[in-house]
Amino acid sequence: MYAQPQTESARGLYRRNTDAELFRIIGTFPLIAAEEIAKLTARPPVQVRKRLRQFLAAGYLNRIQGANEALTFYEEIECERCHHVNQKARLGGRQIATPWFWYLQPKALPYAPDGVAWREKSANIVDHDRGITLCHLALHNKWGGELETWHQQRDAMKESVALDGKTVNFYADARFYLEGRHCFLEYQHSAPSSKNGETDLDVKVARYNALLKHKKDAKVIFIFRAQNHVENFLKRIADDFPYRWLWATDMEGIKHNPSGSIFWCPKDYEERTYSFSDALV
């Protein structure tokens, strides 16, 4: 049971039965757009935006715009004005080019105790973290309650492995359980950085290899912005890591067909694809 905010007449706030759901959704899907909240709650977008602005003024919520990312949804949403299906929000027939993404302030945590909250959010990582939320929304839209124990708070993501005689700590972008699998998620929004001929992706793969190579029920899923990035990644690592504990796909695949055979793995990426419904291998 979630607490409800108390009356704050100076801000025009008063108790509503729908407020707990609003806080829960924003805490579960940080950097969510108002149109997506309206879709999840079956409430009019205008009503949702008004309530969000009230909580913004009262210090329960904050919002930020991405550096480069245009607004794309986890599924196409019909325009509230022209009733055409668009991937981008429109208002009065005009495209909104720079969307706002909403997140909880720490003040809101009593009303969404399991939610993700930030005091501030750097604009430099908004597009990356927004991509994680898009993946979460897509999986939730398909599987609902079958998508178990999603985590993306840093303090819940720490893993430790032994590499070259040293203990190394690292953090996944997200972690969840689905179809009997313990899954780690890595969203590669930007080009990998490189040092001494080794990219940050190479480092991540080596760490996951140490963590997952003997586990049949665990996967790490790398999500890339475009399919050609997936192919280049798999070609790079296939000789050194010809295994099935790693899956890779692109953002369009995970958004629009998450239950389909959209995943490639280094072992046999030129021969077949995989899906969550496949037997554990």
pLDDT > 90? residue 167: yes
Cα–Cα distance, 274 to 108 (Å, whole number): 40
> In terms of Cα–Cα distance, which of 273, 271, 276, 209 is closest to 245?
209
pLDDT band at 69 (very low <50, low <70, confident <90, very high): low
Residue 243: CB atoms within 10 A of its CB come to 16
**Span 169-193, average pLDDT:** 91
pLDDT band at 81 (very low <50, low <70, confident <90, very high): low
pTM as predicted:
0.84
162 DSSP β-pair partners: 167
Model pLDDT, residue 202: 92
Cα–Cα distance, 188 to 226 (Å, whole number): 10
Place of tokens 């949804």: 73
Model pLDDT, residue 280: 64
Mean pLDDT over all residues of the chain?
A: 85
pLDDT > 70? residue 90: no
High-pLDDT (> 90) share of the chain, %: 62
**Span 146-166, average pLDDT:** 87
**185-242 pLDDT per residue, tens:** 999 988 777 777 788 899 999 999 999 998 889 999 999 999 999 999 999 999 999 9
Model pLDDT, residue 10: 39
pLDDT > 50? residue 173: yes
**91-123 pLDDT per residue, tens:** 555 555 578 999 999 999 999 998 999 999 988
Model pLDDT, residue 239: 95
**10-58 pLDDT per residue, tens:** 355 666 778 999 999 999 999 999 989 998 999 998 999 999 999 999 9
CA atoms within 13 A on the CB side of 224: 18
Task: Tell me the CA distances in angstroms from 104 to 80, 157, 181, one per residue in order.
Answer: 26, 20, 29
Whether residue 246 contacts residue 205, with contact meaning beta carbons closer than 8 Å, is answered with yes
**Span 68-86, average pLDDT:** 55
Place of tokens 């997936």: 230
